[in-house]
Amino acid sequence: MKKKIIPTKSPPTHSRFPLGIASIILITALIMAIFTGGIAYGVRGLIGGEPDEGVMVDGVREFRISARQWSYEPAVIKVNPGEKVRFIITSTDIKHGFAINELGINLYMEPETELTHETVVPIDIAPGVYTMYCSVFCGIGHPYMKGNIIIGDPATFGDINITQVLPYLGTAIMAGIVVTSIILVRRRAR
Ligand code: CUA
């Protein structure tokens, strides 16, 4: 279908409308990029850092762990095979989970409520870096709410964990959207 284009007196109004939509997309993408960057910054503590070895209380290795959107403090802990371990965990904001598959732990945390859980690290567990993670949906950063539990003395430490790279990947994707939006805005403006 062909239409005759009638030249109007004010051509800018023609291009202003799509430009407005593109601007909204651009601003939204920018906010999302900043937000994702914030999450990445929030979980930065997971990468590297000295592990917390807790304190020995009557032969039990005790950890006090606080949870919040979207991290644990401490985020890296260390235990040994065959050891009795006690976790005293508290959420400082909303509902969170505390799960370690290898230790059969999956706890539900109510805000501002201290929870104590005792367990024994299996004596025959392979030394390694395992994951402690949030098992209760708690917002956009939930998939990144993770920590590391080092069991024994793994021969290799510092393997790249995909969950630690994800927030940065997310930021890169958002940055890509921002760049694409800028290109689109400029194209439409022509
Ligand atoms: Cu904290 Cu999900």
The pLDDT tens digits of the residues spanning 23-56 come to: 777 787 777 777 776 665 555 444 456 789 999 9
Residues 6 or more apart whose CB falls under 8 angstroms from that of 124 comprise 81
User: Quick check: CB of 39 below 6 Å from ligand 1?
Assistant: no
Of the ranges 39-53, 63-77, 90-104, 173-187, which one carries the lowest mean pLDDT score?
39-53
Rounded to two decimals, what is the model's pTM?
0.60
In angstroms and rounded to an integer, the radius of gyration of the C-alpha atoms of the chain is 24
Residue 12 has pLDDT above 60, yes or no: no
Cβ neighbours of 12 (radius 10 Å) = 8
Per-residue pLDDT band at 157 (split at 50, 70, 90) = very low
Residues β-bridged to residue 119 = 85
pLDDT score recorded for residue 175: 82
Closest C-alpha residue for ligand 1 atom 1: 96
**Does ligand 1 lie within 6 Å of residue 96's CB atom?**
yes
3-state helix, strand, coil in the chain (%, to 5): 35, 30, 35
Dihedral sign from CA coordinates of 125, 128, 133, 135:
negative
Averaged pLDDT, 108-129: 93
DSSP, res 106: E
CA distance 164 to 97: 19
